[in-house]
Structure 1
């Protein structure tokens, strides 16, 4: 069973960062924007992965990367003595952190609603307005004229997360 923290630190006002945790009954603790000292050591984790794992990765494809990253995370990252806390992350998680997590709701969080696609005709041109909403908050809006290609991408859509 997956679990979620009761509280989390937040430094952005993006709707997705408030609606997703709220769905799982979690509450934000405000941080000052662009102030890493307010967020503990979370932002240093990326640096650690880049400097320790990626620097030594010798694979050639994505599948190998994912496989080796899982092994590195389990056998190296979570078993080392943490530089700041002087504790082993796996031991701390299993002893304290894991018990503090709340069980996730069985209702899945809906990530996107691609429900609005408005097409209107004007003389020889066709104007297409694409609107992407998430939990009724606007994520993207664009106008595409006939013959114009703004973005070529494959959109995979799932109404559950």
Structure 2
């Protein structure tokens, strides 16, 4: 599994939120966002994010929030079907992984082992999944862990 550190800038984003247990239903949220982006001709050079907002170990599954984001320019006007937010940039530990349940679980184990071994200290921001370029259509993503 490839790993690197990267400084991610602040981004203005349009997004869709789903509330409920994390899992396969989150894919539908990302697909909804991709359909919207395709209709608006935003998908070709897009940066997409999947962001689980809650820790499923401490939050009831039925109240877990999952957001699917797309980066938009400062002057882009979104319609009423999307919400708007900002991703807070900073230093991130970035893992490129095959986007399967097994590989994602393996990546999270490695991430938390590195943090437990004091190699990195997590920042108080959510872990994000990033999809850019060919990752949008191929089964890969970057898991971006905020670190200090």
Task: Report the TM-score when normalising by structure 1.
Answer: 0.21
Q: Between Structure 1 and Structure 2, whose CA radius of gyration is higher?
A: 1
